[in-house]
Amino acid sequence: MRVVFDDMDPAARVKIFKTPTTAGQGDIHKTDGSSSASHFHASLAVGDTYFPSIKQSEPLKDQVTDFFRCAKAGKQPISDARFGADVVYVLEAIQESLKRGGVKVQVASHESLIPPAKLNIPLVDLKANYRRIKGEVIEAMTDVMENTAFVLGPHLKRFEDNYAKFCGTKYCMGVNSGTDAIFLALKHLGVGPGDEVITQANTFVATVASISNTGATPILVDHDEYYMMDVDQIEAKITPKTKCIMPVHLYGQMADMDKILEIAKKHNLLVAEDASQAHGALYKGRRAGSFGDAGCFSFYPGKNMGAYGDGGAIVTNNEELATRIQWWRSWGCKVKYHHEIKGGNSRLDCIQAVVLDIKLKYIDSWNARRREIADLYSQKLVGVGDFLLPKVRSENVSVWHLYVVRTEYRDEILKFLNGLGIGAGIHYPIPIHELNAYKGEMDGWAGKLPRTSEFAKKILSLPMFPELTNEQVDIVVAKCKEFFATHNGSLTNGSSS
């Protein structure tokens, strides 16, 4: 059977000929200028022909309708933009061949002409996290607005009670940032001008800036193999001016709190924990923030438990400390217009409080997913290039705020991954004592913090967030392998330094 489609014939758009042709196929290919179509039709028997009823329609409309139907069903259309582009590539190759006397011309492949799409695997995906709880968040925010309870309302009190219980402490005070959390904790623990606070050198600047803003002097120690405060260096830094030790629970795991508390007790020192990257982390079964005289948290959006804006909190078992911070954060008022102390303004607003209270319900499961992702990285990145993978202290249950590897080729692989659309990053590229903010004041630390100074040039953070899929982890790993395979000849030790 032969089927002929002729859109120009409204009476018989489709003709079906059941009888084979009576003329030879050669008759179709005439070279005398006559119509090949007329020869084609002449070669067909017309005795057994029928014309099925075909509804009149616009071909372009039919094609577009089919395209949407395929898109909805998840099927590849027979003809789409890719198909059209391939036709153009063939026509261009024909034209080029004619120009060159009929020589063979390689038709460009579709893939060779279209640049690869960006992978779009971010370092942190806040949108994906928002979509998981969008309905709850909008409902809770609406409740705040309907009740116009924006500042120090019942929503904040509920979150503070829930977070204190979560951390295993008696009190929680919401403030406007993690920086203020550290500053206010130190200030109301009595740290001020003339005092020294021992902390680690490989932290974010907010840790030491908060110390500086009390008038005290930050004293730095290097980090250990886990990137935590090297507890073996603490006692050598203690002087008669030392008032407090501030461990930083960096990247999601905790410092050696037993040793730190032992040293603090021996020398009659305060302990304030910077737990801004460790929401829910455990050391010997106890939560971050519950060990010291105060625990300080940031709720910056990118944290494991981030608000939709700035926010922070202080947790403690010290009733007097809690009371004074509650007064100070609202201009020193115990009762409105009764200013008991010279205070300030640092309050976590209720909109942020309801967001955090919702996230608090899920934080343990989200952190568990982070551990699964970290385990996948640690299994699949073994032996990849010169990567040195992170380790976790046996007493710790890390919440993997960051997954940080070390490599001599950090800058090169960072550029490579970012160019592909993989959001690798650096935490943190410049050590505290090398920042302009502390130039002069900390010149004496040069060369005395070797791990911090050396590793700042080598550390690389890979994508880490609970919505990261196993397939995305595989892509990140594959691209890391590809980097070392394709750049092997051009890499030399120390090139990134």
- CATH number for the domain spanning 245: value is 3.40.640.10
Based on the domain organization, do 300 and 166 belong to the same domain?
yes
Calpha distance 344→330 (Å, rounded)? 6
Region label for 494, one of left (φ > 0), alpha (ψ between -120 and 50) or beta (otherwise)? left
pLDDT at 258: 98
Based on the domain organization, do 170 and 315 belong to the same domain?
yes
Based on the domain organization, do 425 and 349 belong to the same domain?
no
SS3 at position 171: strand
pLDDT at 27: 46
Based on the domain organization, do 312 and 249 belong to the same domain?
yes
Based on the domain organization, do 134 and 283 belong to the same domain?
yes
pLDDT at 496: 40
Give yes or no for a contact between 460 and 470, defined as CB atoms under 8 angstroms apart.
no
Q: 401 lies in which domain range?
A: 362-490
Based on the domain organization, do 402 and 279 belong to the same domain?
no
Residue with tokens 């609406």: 142
Calpha distance 109→170 (Å, rounded)? 67
Calpha distance 258→395 (Å, rounded)? 10
pLDDT at 53: 77
Calpha distance 381→383 (Å, rounded)? 6
Based on the domain organization, do 86 and 225 belong to the same domain?
no
Based on the domain organization, do 353 and 370 belong to the same domain?
no
CA atoms within 13 A on the CB side of 106: 4
Q: What angle do CA 163, 165, 166 make, to 5 degrees?
A: 60
Neighbouring residues of 329: CB distance < 8 A, sequence distance ≥ 6: 173, 175, 184, 343, 344, 345, 346, 347
Beta bridge partners of 217: 196
Three state DSSP letters for 398-430: CCCCCEEEECCCHHHHHHHHHHHCECCECCCCC
Based on the domain organization, do 349 and 416 belong to the same domain?
no
Based on the domain organization, do 274 and 210 belong to the same domain?
yes
- Domain membership of residue 417 (yes or no) is yes
Q: What is the number of structural domains in the chain?
A: 4
Based on the domain organization, do 130 and 108 belong to the same domain?
no
- Parallel, antiparallel or unpaired: strands 459-462 and 403-406: antiparallel
Q: What angle do CA 109, 114, 116 make, to 5 degrees?
A: 115
- Domain membership of residue 40 (yes or no) is yes
pLDDT at 495: 43
Residue with tokens 């005395």: 448
Calpha distance 151→168 (Å, rounded)? 25
User: Residue 91 is encoded by which pair of tokens?
Assistant: 């026509």
- Domain membership of residue 497 (yes or no) is no
Give yes or no for a contact between 280 and 363, defined as CB atoms under 8 angstroms apart.
yes
pLDDT at 28: 46
pLDDT in tens, the chain (497 residues): 778 888 777 777 788 877 665 544 444 444 555 555 565 555 555 567 777 877 777 778 888 888 888 888 878 777 677 777 778 888 888 888 888 888 888 887 766 666 667 889 999 999 999 999 999 999 999 999 999 999 999 999 999 999 999 999 999 999 999 999 999 999 999 999 999 999 999 999 999 999 999 999 999 999 999 999 999 999 999 999 999 999 999 999 999 999 999 999 999 999 999 999 999 999 999 999 999 999 999 999 999 999 999 999 999 999 999 999 999 999 999 888 999 889 999 999 999 999 999 999 999 999 999 999 999 999 999 999 999 999 999 999 999 999 999 999 999 999 999 999 999 999 999 999 999 999 999 999 999 999 999 999 999 999 999 999 999 999 999 999 999 998 876 665 544 43
Out of 358, 378, 405, a domain closes at: 358
Q: Residue 49 CA to chain centroid, in angstroms?
A: 66
Length of the chain: 497
- Domain membership of residue 121 (yes or no) is no
